[in-house]
Amino acid sequence: MKSNIINLNQINMKSIVKVSTIAMTMLVGMVQAKTTAIINATVYTVASQGILEQATVIFDQDKISQVYANDNIPENLNVDETIDAKGRILTPGFIGTMNSLGLVEVSAVSRTKDGGDDKADITFDASLAFNPKSTLVAYARKGGITSNIVAPHGGDKLFAGQTFAVDLSGGFASITEKQNAVLVYLGSESKGSRARRLQELDNKFADVQKALTKKQNSKEKEDKEKKEPKRADKVIHELLAGEKPLLAYADRATDLLALLALKKKYGIDLILVGASDAVLVANEIAAANVVVILSSIDNLPSSFDSINASLTHMARLQAAGVKIILAPKGESHNVNQLRFDAGVAVANGLAKTDAIAALTANIADVFKLNSGRIAVGKNADLVLWSADPFELSTKVDDMWINGEKVSTRSRQDALRERYTTSSDMPRAYTK
Amino acid sequence: MNKPPLKLSLALAAMSISLTACLPNEKQDDKVSINKNPFPSTYQALPQQNTLFTNATVLTGTGERFDNSDVLIVDGKIKQIGANLSADNVMTIDVQGKWITPGIIDVHSHLGVYPSPSVESHADGNEMTEPNTSEVWAEHSVWPQDPGFQAARAGGITSLQILPGSANLFGGRGVTLKNVPSHTMQGMKFADAPYGLKMACGENPKRVYGKRKQQPSTRMGNVAGYRSAWATATEYKRAWNKYNNEYDAGKNPQPPARDLELDTLKGVLDGDILIHNHCYKAEEMAVMMDIGKEFGYHSGTFHHGVEAYKIADKLAENQNCVAMWPDWWGFKMEAYDMVEENVAIVDAVKNSCAIVHSDSNTTIQRLNQEAGKVLFRANDNGFNLKAEDAIKWITFNAAKSLGIEDKTGSLAAGKNADVVLWSANPFSVYTQAEQVFVDGAKVYDRFDEKYQAKSDFLLGQE
């Protein structure tokens, strides 16, 4: 008991010190805005400036304030901190998508899982359960990932809920956008027919659209007496108005075409996810201006819906004019592998700049994030790499989220250090 | 788990007269013996071509690297490695800038037993009907048309062990295959490779059987299950030894009743079958080592040893190989304590045997990159490993774990010419296997469709 009391006292002491440090930092911050310049960088802007050699990027607090090409750098930068990249590559922070980051700690431990619920419907907002302190978040940063679109997996209903956007700072204010896209899972069924869900989706849009039109045509007096639309219907309204994307998981070409037809019929902002057969209907997808979120490594015919799976899909879709986003299927714990998956796509024909866009700007465009590019006014989510970001031998040297430098240290490092440090005492004393 | 004592063969007992059974010089019945190889390999090397590769960067698989080196393949074997080699009647290929390694070996695969497409009709990898199914053999579930074999070949895999799943304490026998196309399992079977016995620690068996309110439902239940099986197997082995000794002494003893489950366990006790033990955690591996000592067998290779780094010294001292992923974690509690340098930490101990395995039809296609991730993360954190070190984890050490290191797993004179020609350093994300050879026969060529096999399943699909 006694030792417990001492420990508590120590904790209290520590917290007090921490609080005062934070207070001081805030004070300093108020006195002078902090500006940082990264000089001599090879900058992948993923924006109109393309790739800049020996460039300088300045960020002021949380936003990028200047991007100078090497022939355009002023003599006096007038910044608080200067980092010499020595030619190393600077990219926008990579963005994970379609995973359960922060909604799962251990997949087989149900009480650490918050991504699904039998009763989840189109209104399901899993962001309420997001845990920025999950050990997966720090580990994800090792892959240069600065933000993420978290996707719940819903329950028994047609819609699986809605995605949300987070930064990977690990702070309690990590959620940047709630309920920013609606999820639906389509395709082969172990019980019943794939047709039913497609039909239900079509009917849902038709019914809500009809009710909406009716309401708009009704007289003002009656309108006042009318009830507010149901929460679920409001979300359908947002989809019909194109205010929010519909993320539809499907693989077989017939399902993809059926979804394209729904887009045409109702004007929804459709995003295809998975889409193993996308190459078969690449021209139709490109013509409909539909973005495809897919994996670069799922090349086996894991089902009859993915007979045409191949390592060259990303390159072929890009060549057909389809905007692509790279997301490994269902991966949360090892989402930091994104960059290696991008490397595999490049090894199989995708241009390196297109692969970087598939991890940054393309995602920002779909989910309306103010990141994913190195351009004035964008969030200072930046990664300075030791070399080519996709190479196995490369690591993150420095990274910033909203202009704050963040660590890539994770629980894994603490474990490694414990077991590689020699000691006369049991390992438990090495902390 | 608790097997009844040895069943006596009633039929045989009825035929013999017990009182006279032990008298010397009586007429002996035919000796009963167990055929250890009832499903023999019918593998034949594909058409071989004597080949001389020149100017390659060669990683031998045993820790050596030779720059600007030549590799001579004659009659399906590695003939010579060195500078400025020449030979008559060989095809000479200048491979300047490219790398040559031994064929890649995956000690943990479920290709063929959990094939693509992963439909219910194909889920043949886990006989989840009782905790000890040592009587089942993975080779009897192998569907050789699994398109995953071809995909793995394109990644340089030349040999692989197909294991049953991990639902059971004893999952059954694994089989080592050569990664050549065939329409029978026997046509792929690696002749003279010892069988493996799949065992499983931890969460899987206790979850599967605990849910059914039967043993094991705890880790202590798991261990009781292993020990009672080995105790029964010890009796079985003794019964056969007794039978053989008496028969050889001219008597006409009663043979023990055949028991397929115990045949496999006895094979382990006899040293014919190698243990391949799914076991994540440090404390469980330590217990499994002791069980091996208790019953007089070697605890073999630990697979998925996520916590192997915690007991690296002990593993080397006990001569266990450990097959590991570079970074998979978090899917179960027993996979929570992952470190990216696990393989390197195990490898750093003298007499260790660290292996990178896949257990995946996806990462088996890039086992070189899996090893590469370990190499570079370890070097980021104080190690000084080189390509010639990392290649061991997916070649020689893997061959050692499977008991085939005298035949394959390294580039040395006399070894099978299982060889991969890589476009560049195999530990780059952009590098591809360009040509793959098994026993000196080309089985894959990235640039020649003639050497790109296609499964029956994919033929004629649109």
Chain B touched by A391 (CB under 8 Å): yes
- The pLDDT score that the predictor gives to residue A270 is 98
- Closest-CA distance, A217 to chain B, in angstroms, reads 49
Summarised one tens digit per residue, pLDDT across range B47-98 is 999 999 999 999 999 999 999 999 999 999 999 999 999 999 999 999 999 9
Q: Tell whether omega for the bond before B253 is within 30 degrees of 0, i.e. cis.
A: no
Name the residue ranges covered by the structural domains of chain A: 1-31, 95-372
A227 pLDDT higher than 80: no
- Local structure of residue B269 (DSSP, 8 states): H
Summarised one tens digit per residue, pLDDT across range B261-301 is 999 999 999 999 999 999 999 999 999 999 999 999 999 99
**Facing A392 at nearest CB: one of B309, B333, B428:** B428
Kindly identify which residue of chain A lies nearest to residue B150, measuring between CA atoms: A300
Note whether A299 contacts B430, CB cutoff 8 Å.
no
Cβ proximity of A64 and A375 under 8 Å: yes
Give, to the nearest 10 degrees, the angle between helix A194-217 and helix A253-266: 0
pLDDT (average), residues B101-120? 97
Best of A101, A392, A422 to mutate (most B CBs within 10 Å, chain B): A392
Name the A residues in 111-170 with CB < 8 Å from any B CB.
Answer: 135-136
Query: Measured between alpha carbons, how far is B267 from A182 in angstroms, rounded to an integer?
Result: 57
pLDDT (average), residues B25-46? 94
**pTM, whole model, 2 decimals?**
0.93
Confidence of residue B419 (pLDDT cuts 50, 70, 90): very high
- Closest-CA distance, A103 to chain B, in angstroms, reads 13
Residue B80 lies in a domain: no
**Residues in A touching B118 (Cβ below 8 Å):** 302-303
B103 pLDDT higher than 50: yes
- Closest-CA distance, B154 to chain A, in angstroms, reads 12
Residue B274 lies in a domain: yes
pLDDT (average), residues A75-102? 97
Residue with tokens 């390592």: A311
Note whether A108 contacts B376, CB cutoff 8 Å.
no
Query: Measured between alpha carbons, how far is A366 from A91 in angstroms, rounded to an integer?
Result: 19
Summarised one tens digit per residue, pLDDT across range B324-380 is 999 999 999 999 999 999 999 999 999 999 999 999 999 999 999 999 999 999 999
Residue B127 lies in a domain: yes
- SS3 at position B88: coil
A14 pLDDT higher than 80: no
A4 pLDDT higher than 80: no
Confidence of residue B398 (pLDDT cuts 50, 70, 90): very high
Considering the four listed CATH numbers 3.40.50.300, 1.10.3300.10, 3.30.360.10, 3.20.20.140, the one that applies to the domain covering A95-372 is 3.20.20.140
- Local structure of residue B257 (DSSP, 8 states): P
B35 pLDDT higher than 60: yes
**Residues in B touching A430 (Cβ below 8 Å):** none
Confidence of residue A225 (pLDDT cuts 50, 70, 90): low
- Return the minimum-mean-pLDDT range out of A20-29, A152-161, A358-367: A20-29
A28 pLDDT higher than 80: no
pLDDT (average), residues A11-20? 39
Name the B residues in 350-379 with CB < 8 Å from any A CB.
Answer: 361-362, 365-366, 369, 372-373, 375-377
Q: Is A25 exposed, middle or buried (0-12, 13-18, 19+ CB in 10 A)?
A: exposed
Confidence of residue B14 (pLDDT cuts 50, 70, 90): very low
Residue B45 lies in a domain: no
- Closest-CA distance, B309 to chain A, in angstroms, reads 7
Residue B117 lies in a domain: yes
CATH number of the domain encompassing residue B211:
3.20.20.140
Note whether B429 contacts A297, CB cutoff 8 Å.
no
- Closest-CA distance, A375 to chain B, in angstroms, reads 29
**Facing A303 at nearest CB: one of B118, B309, B373:** B118
The count of domains in chain B is: 1
Q: What is the largest CA-CA distance in chain B?
A: 78
**Facing A420 at nearest CB: one of B327, B345, B366:** B345
| Interacting residues of B354 by C-beta distance below 8 A, sequence separation 6+ | B321, B322, B324, B343, B344, B346, B347, B392, B393, B397
- Closest-CA distance, A108 to chain B, in angstroms, reads 5
**Residues in A touching B150 (Cβ below 8 Å):** none
B15 pLDDT higher than 90: no
**Facing A412 at nearest CB: one of B331, B339, B427:** B339
pLDDT (average), residues A19-48? 71
The boundaries of the domain holding residue B160 are 103-410
- Closest-CA distance, A416 to chain B, in angstroms, reads 6
Query: Measured between alpha carbons, how far is A102 from A113 in angstroms, rounded to an integer?
Result: 9
Residue B428 lies in a domain: no
Q: Tell whether omega for the bond before B24 is within 30 degrees of 0, i.e. cis.
A: no
Name the A residues in 59-78 with CB < 8 Å from any B CB.
Answer: none
Note whether B116 contacts A300, CB cutoff 8 Å.
yes
**Facing B117 at nearest CB: one of A301, A333, A420:** A301
- The pLDDT score that the predictor gives to residue A221 is 53
Chain A touched by B29 (CB under 8 Å): no
Note whether A302 contacts B457, CB cutoff 8 Å.
no
Chain A touched by B425 (CB under 8 Å): no
Summarised one tens digit per residue, pLDDT across range B205-225 is 999 999 999 999 999 999 999
Q: Is B310 exposed, middle or buried (0-12, 13-18, 19+ CB in 10 A)?
A: buried
**Facing A300 at nearest CB: one of B361, B369, B377:** B361
A353 pLDDT higher than 60: yes
ipTM above 0.90, yes or no: yes
**Facing A107 at nearest CB: one of B332, B380, B427:** B332
